[in-house]
Structure 1
């Protein structure tokens, strides 16, 4: 699998992906595309399934049904297939302190991927270039430093450099700025935008923060209880949300909130006990406020649809 095999339109995709843990439907028939050179934000509360979906896109969790595609090709799960795939699709974790071995220097941390994949030519040059792309300049100044000698933002840049050293097509960033101070968050988000623009990278950003999506993403997908409930261009979704869940999440985002905060009742339901009809119904303020009988019946009985993977603005709600 080479970079040349990547579709010019879609870099990475979930096609009807289902992931189950016993009776729990953690991911329940999801279609999602990350276009070439595109940043997509996958947004939702803790427990909604977004990290499990990201892990399936990375080949770390094999779907019970559906498939993951890299370019136009289904992902294979042999050791060789996965090793080659992970040269092209790299993970950036949320906690740089936990991602970096405290006993390894910055050089060793960034070179680790090269050594795992047997890339021995020009190691020092490749490490220096990756650190430079991640904004650590001059890179040689950081070679022999240990994680505890770096700031939080610098540690996250080392993690990003470790992903970049293999020259991937796609980054999957799981809460990449959640552990950082507010002053540093903007710098890391700006770096991801710069990498997209300069290297043509595709990026999936997994986050609970719709404000982050507003600042960085081309498109946004809102996830609830194992399914995408709304997706579309970021400006369309955030300026004119259709699903009550999206509206509730947006009501507490200072950058875009235009109404009083909407308080959702209760916690995200157990994925092993998904409600009939609309799975958001038990917490939906619109349903709770009262609906015409025929509309309420649809909310109660009609299964929530799987949204299509195309780039339109879609919402899985009978009220949308």
Structure 2
């Protein structure tokens, strides 16, 4: 495991707090090409994010986590299910979506691709203000956002271009561009994946500080369980379009119950024992298997432990219900026949 989690000792208690963002039964289906069956990229997800909470959405590439994040942002319309914000269903009219996107901001993985190379830092940060018709002091708002993002004195960066900045500084500019609109929730898609190891900790510390100082909530989309351990209050592990385990981060990452979570954790540098090598590739989302969607790669089923627990047939034939998205950190939830039979 990585260094002990930064957030756990002082984690706020979210029990009973109404969610800021809520997803219920969200499906996103993309039509197949040339008569192929449709791809179920998100195949039933419940997820809540509470005010001031940081939730890590974890899974390998292709599991549907970025598509889910785009649906939560209103960039992709769910095929089924609903997304609510601050207690109200998301209205997809142009004016309502514009107002919503002021309150929920996206921070992308690659700052170089997020910033227009022809725009100065000032223009990059001010762009959101101009789109949303900001009526106050633009210069003061840009300076404040840059300062909160750790670029001080902010005026020193106004006339710089992205190519004149380090990778960490570019990511801070992207974060400042989100902060300038004073959002309530950040959706950060692999926010440190493209950064050097020496800078990753600084950006994670910045996100934690913003939560403390501004009360920001965050959904952090990542394949990196070490990142989740260091920043999140709660973790949701996603596989083939559905959340398969969720709970308080220290609970899930120190005592994982789902075989898929165990496999992901086993490859971390400090993980005890040998890495779990999963067989094959994740199934095609257009051809999700019957039963548990992980069963074709499951080390517990292949190793005979599911047979000994009497659940092997259920693993192969019985689908599991969508996990409740409430996730107040008490107890945790798992979509696994073997774990529920007491195999953990």
TM-score range with shorter-chain normalisation? over 0.9
Instruction: Give the corresponding residue for 1:85.
Output: 100
Separation in 1, partners of 2:22, 2:326: 11
Separation in 2, partners of 1:292, 1:113: 56
Larger displacement relative to structure 2 (117-126 or 141-150): 117-126
Q: Secondary structure at the match of 2:280?
A: coil
Give 1:307's match in structure 2, choosing from 310, 323, 342. 323
CA apart distance, 1:258: 2.1
Deviations 1:26-49 (A, max 9, x none): 001100111110100000000000
**Contact 2:301–2:307, Cα closer than 8 Å, also in 1:** no
Q: Secondary structure at the match of 2:338?
A: coil
Runs of 4+ off more than 4 Å: none
**Contact 2:320–2:336, Cα closer than 8 Å, also in 1:** yes
Q: Secondary structure at the match of 2:44?
A: strand
Give 2:44's match in structure 1, choosing from 29, 45, 49. 29
Please, what is the CA RMSD of the aligned residues?
1.1
**Contact 2:115–2:162, Cα closer than 8 Å, also in 1:** yes
Deviations 1:125-172 (A, max 9, x none): 000000000000000000000000000000000000000000000000
Instruction: Give the corresponding residue for 2:131.
Output: 116
Question: In the alignment, is residue 206 of structure 1 matched against residue 215 of structure 2?
Answer: no
Instruction: Give the corresponding residue for 2:259.
Output: 244
Instruction: Give the corresponding residue for 1:169.
Output: 184
Q: Secondary structure at the match of 1:269?
A: coil
CA apart distance, 1:92: 0.1
Give 1:284's match in structure 2, choosing from 295, 298, 312. 298
Gaps of 5+ in 2: 1-15, 32-37, 340-344
Q: Secondary structure at the match of 1:282?
A: helix
**Superposition pairs for residues 1-320 of structure 1, below 5 Å?**
9-22=18-31, 23-255=38-270, 257-290=271-304, 291-292=306-307, 294-311=310-327, 312=330, 313-320=332-339
Q: Secondary structure at the match of 1:292?
A: helix
Separation in 2, partners of 1:182, 1:54: 25
CA apart distance, 1:305: 1.7
Q: Secondary structure at the match of 1:31?
A: strand
Deviations 1:238-275 (A, max 9, x none): 011000000000001125x1221000111111000000
Separation in 1, partners of 2:99, 2:168: 29
* Number of equivalences: 313
TM-score, normalised to structure 1's length? 0.96
Separation in 2, partners of 1:151, 1:157: 10
Q: Secondary structure at the match of 2:300?
A: helix
CA apart distance, 1:8: 5.7
TM-score, normalised to structure 2's length? 0.89
Larger displacement relative to structure 2 (302-311 or 122-131): 302-311
